[in-house]
Amino acid sequence: MRTATVTRNTKETQITAAVNLDGSGIYAVQTGIGFLDHMLEQLSRHSLMDLEITAEGDTHIDFHHTTEDSGIAIGEAVSKAVGERRGIVRYGTATIPMDETCSRVALDFSNRPYLIWKVVFSKAKLGEMDTELFKEWFQAFAQSAGVTLHVENLYGENNHHIIESCFKGLARSLRQAVEIDPRKADDVPSTKGVLGGSLI
């Protein structure tokens, strides 16, 4: 089992995140932000990654720090659990339809963090959560997990559907990318023998 637990304590947030990449999509999520909880539950369920996260943050100010730091903690846990990235498929992609919406996510466990974000919302908030914070979460996750991550909403009208399809796309891409390739189970999927740096 590829598991990891990360604790992140700052003056703004106190977070513990635990993942099992070889799980079955079991989750226990408590961030104090209802909509973010819903999205992280989708991430766990559709990636089959078990996820436990508890977060206490300065939500009396706004949701920025808790949102960003939860992405950092989960990303760090995923990176720690995948280890040297030996034997993984490395790449994952998913196109997710959700009613009138369709989004595409592509992911590379390159150990070279990068986010391309082509998602536009027509509303400033979903529930009590600022929609601009979703990019912050994906940026934090990509940076801490060490992944190249491209997220694109192809079309859609309902803001809830747009962001949920992005999280589900990440989940399915993550599931593909971290699976062990039985043909190369002992090898790092790179001609360099390591992942990271400027070459592939």
Do the domain assignments include residue 10?
Answer: yes
The CATH number covering residue 39 comes to: 3.30.230.40
Do the domain assignments include residue 159?
Answer: yes
Instruction: Please name the residues in contact with 11: beta carbons below 8 A apart, sequence gap of 6 or more.
Output: none
Is residue 74 left, alpha or beta, with left meaning phi > 0 and alpha meaning psi from -120 to 50? alpha
Do the domain assignments include residue 131?
Answer: yes
Do the domain assignments include residue 191?
Answer: no
88-135 pLDDT tens trace: 999 999 999 999 999 999 999 999 999 999 999 999 999 899 999 999
Residues in the chain: 200
pLDDT at 187: 65
CA distance linking residue 71 with residue 182, whole number of Å: 30
Record the pTM: 0.93
Note down the domain range covering 67: 3-178
Do the domain assignments include residue 197?
Answer: no
- Angle in degrees, 0-180, between the axes of helices 64-82 and 159-178, rounded to the nearest 10: 20
Residues of the chain with pLDDT under 50: 191, 198-200
